[in-house]
Amino acid sequence: MNEHSRIYVAGHRGLVGSAIVRRLEAGGHKHLLLRSSQELDLRDPVATRRFFEESRPEYVFLAAARVGGILANSRSPVDFLADNLAIQQNVITAAHATGVTKLLFLGSSCIYPRECPQPIREEYLLSGPLERTNEWYAIAKIAGIKLCQAYRQQHGARFISAMPTNLYGPNDNFDLETSHVLPAMIRKFHDATRTGGPVTLWGSGSPRREFLHVDDLADACLFLMQRYEDDSPINVGTGTDVTIRELARLVARAVGFEGEVVWDASKPDGTPRKWLDVSRLTGLGWQARLDLETGLRETVDWFLRSI
């Protein structure tokens, strides 16, 4: 992949896709193929195939997906399963049919079983039951991984998969109905600084989570597109994690909230711990650069500028 390669970033307006675009542009890549969901509905197989036939991308970053937190997953299981299956199927099959040189599929750490040994190694995939609060999304992502592997096995396609840990950063979704835990906290703490009330957070606060700034993920994606050729999905993370209670303290400090935090233990915690083993990736020579406190300050600054 060089600066003249035709590169399609699917989902370029989302958290991950926009970060990949920023990284590609910073690297001097001049031929980016970008379509919004209004311009190209990737759930439509005919429209997707037509785009690939007309645009002929050489490299594809598949970051398009329907995403959301526990609440959104529980309310819309059909959407999270069917939409993601359709997007993946259409893009991956069109990429093969039109001779794409290489494709990187972005999965998620939620593909791993709920009760995984920690840290989570890539080979633990499909070794136990999934976390029920996000199983619809996870099943779709597992299908995407397996479709890439199937194309590699049957057709020799250079399709690879990366499994990022929990992400945050610019262009995240801060809607309380559909967001993940970290941006939801930023929104709640910010709103509470204006109203003066307490902040209520779901669960006990005891689960542990790993958080990766999306700009680090984008850098890892370009690294993998250039250097990774293995059949197995590869984890992308920081190698460190925090409790949700610790995260709440960090977010409150970054936002400037000094009020009361109430933990609603009647709400689900989700998976007890998700901490990725990233030794395969670091062994290739890549590691995350942004620590959580620095990344949080940058994300809060971006959020405040955007509202």
Catalytic residues: 137
The CA radius of gyration of the chain, in Å to the nearest whole number, is 19
The C-alpha atoms of residue 142 and residue 138 are separated, in whole angstroms, by: 6
Longest dimension (CA), the chain: 60
Do residues 201 and 189 lie in contact, with contact meaning Cβ atoms separated by under 8 Å? Answer: no
Instruction: List, as one string, the DSSP characters of the chain.
Output: --TTSEEEEETTTSHHHHHHHHHHHHTT--EEE---TTT--TT-HHHHHHHHHHH--SEEEE-------HHHHHH-HHIIIIIHHHHHHHHHHHHHHTT-SEEEEE--GGGS-TT--SSBPGGGTTSSPPPGGGHHHHHHHHHHHHHHHHHHHHH---EEEEEE-EEESTT----TTT--HHHHHHHHHHHHHHH---EEEES-S--EE-EEEHHHHHHHHHHHHHH---SS-EEES-S--EEHHHHHHHHHHHHT--S-EEEETTS---SSEE-B--HHHHHHT------HHHHHHHHHHHHHHH-
Of 110, 109, 94, which is closest to residue 159 (Cα–Cα)? 94
